[in-house]
């Protein structure tokens, strides 16, 4: 039996690659970026190798209910606003 530390027994996986997935697939949509300290939200208007660009950007200081309604406290930022990809912990569609 061949065992490795990361997957137990040798494991085969299904791998699918989609063109236009990830940040590129979200261009033109409202997203939220959860970074180390701050949450940024806005329309994803640009993607480069090392950063993303938001138009109509806001920094979120207090979220409120995460599944409905507006942000409890979000302040507008100058547009466009750029965020370094390596600082993004998670991201997804904006709640409003």
Widest distance between CA atoms in the chain: 58
Residue 10, C-beta contacts closer than 8 angstroms, at least 6 positions apart? 2, 3, 4
Range with the poorest average pLDDT among 1-10, 21-30, 84-93: 1-10
Residue 67 binned pLDDT confidence (cut-offs 50, 70, 90): confident
pTM of the model: 0.77
**Rounded-to-integer distance, Cα 71 and Cα 95, Å:** 8
Write down the architecture of domain 23-93 according to CATH. Answer: Roll (2.30)
Residues 12-63: tens digit of each pLDDT: 666 665 666 788 888 999 999 999 999 999 999 999 999 999 999 999 999 9
| Domain ranges, ordered by start, for the chain | 23-93
């Amino acid at each position: 039996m061949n065992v490795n530390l990361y997957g137990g027994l040798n494991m085969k996986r299904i791998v699918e690659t989609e063109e236009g997935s990830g940040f590129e697939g979200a261009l033109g949509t409202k997203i939220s970026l959860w970074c180390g300290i701050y949450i940024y939200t806005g329309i994803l208007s640009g993607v480069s190798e090392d950063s993303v660009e938001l138009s109509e950007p806001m920094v979120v200081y207090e979220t409120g209910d995460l599944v409905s309604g507006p942000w409890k406290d979000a302040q507008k930022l100058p547009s466009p606003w750029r965020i370094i990809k390596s600082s993004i912990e998670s991201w997804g569609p904006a709640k409003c």
